[in-house]
Copies of this chain bind each other. A is one copy, B any other.
Amino acid sequence: MVGRQGQGGGAGNKAGARRAGLDFPRPLTSVDIVIFTIRLEALHVLLVRRGHAEGEPFPDAQALPGGFVDVARDRDLEACARRKLAEKTGVVSPYLEQLGSWGSATRDPRGWSATHAYFALIPASAAETALAADAQWFPLYGAGVKPRLAFDHQEILQAAVQRLRNKVEYTSLPAYLMPEEFTLPELQRTYEIVLDRPLEKSAFRTRMLSADLIEPIDKMRKGPNRPAQLYRLKAAAAPVYFARTFNAPE
């Protein structure tokens, strides 16, 4: 057993020879974000086209928005993620959740690298404006996306889709994909798009209305038929966890 021994963020202690010194190679550290929205009745993810300067891996390929942590600018990982999200979409307060981290010697040809992945949900309304020039929405087919992705981003994306679909079964996450005002049928439609499966209207309404999540506003959505009650998210923006999933387990 040779080598560094420190615990936590700690380095060197009892190995003696190499002690508290920090003069060993460090992995590259980045943050990537999987940003979802609903457009045209389908789940979309934001991708960014990579540059093609010399030394750039995966030139011109599509990739998740992200990049290296800037130790001078970023106070912490989440701040780094928020910065990148704002740069690409203009959105400043989305639903943002840590997804996991991927790190290995081989995922980046430039050397050992670890990325901290986040996933964000933003409303369709915010999804069109203030988009960066190199960013573009791509619809999801199954758990993936048409273009080949740089690095291990296909794997990260799949994990994000799986986590989203999974949590939608028993949480109120889709509410964060809605515009400010929405009707219950619209919310149900969003659930159905993400789950790719129809839900029962009656059970859906009961569940949503009995959760402390949305409140009716004094306004109706007019259409060519019976108007629908409009709702908005309650002030307490925390996601709600339901005690059961929507369907029986398979």
Contacts and interface: CB of A to CB of B under 8 A. Distances in A.
A7 B105 contact: no
Interface stretch (A10-18, A121-129, A188-196, A221-229): A10-18
A66 interface: yes
B3 A73 contact: yes
Contacts of A77: 101-104, 114
Given A4-B68, A10-B30, A11-B56, 5 more contacts: A6-B67, A8-B115, A25-B72, A77-B101, A114-B116
A53 interface: yes
Given A20-B56, A53-B13, A7 B243 contact: no
8 tightest Cβ-Cβ pairs between the two chains A and B? A13-B51, A20-B55, A9-B108, A76-B104, A71-B112, A77-B103, A9-B113, A7-B63
Interface in A58-95: 58, 63-77, 87
A139 interface: no
Contacts of A248: 243
A243 B12 CA distance: 46
B51 A28 contact: no
Interface of A: 1, 3-14, 19-22, 24-30, 32, 48, 50-58, 63-77, 87, 98, 100-108, 110-116, 134, 150-151, 153, 241-245, 248-249
15 contacts: A4-B67, A4-B70, A5-B67, A6-B56, A8-B63, A8-B64, A9-B28, A10-B108, A11-B28, A12-B51, A25-B71, A27-B29, A29-B29, A29-B114, A103-B116
Contact of A10 (B4, B22, B56): B56
Contacts of A104: 75-77
A26 to B, nearest CB: 4
B65 A7 contact: yes
Contacts of A153: 8
A165 B134 CA distance: 43
Nearest to A243: B249
B30 A8 contact: yes
Nearest to A6: B67
Nearest to A79: B104
A56 to B, nearest CB: 5
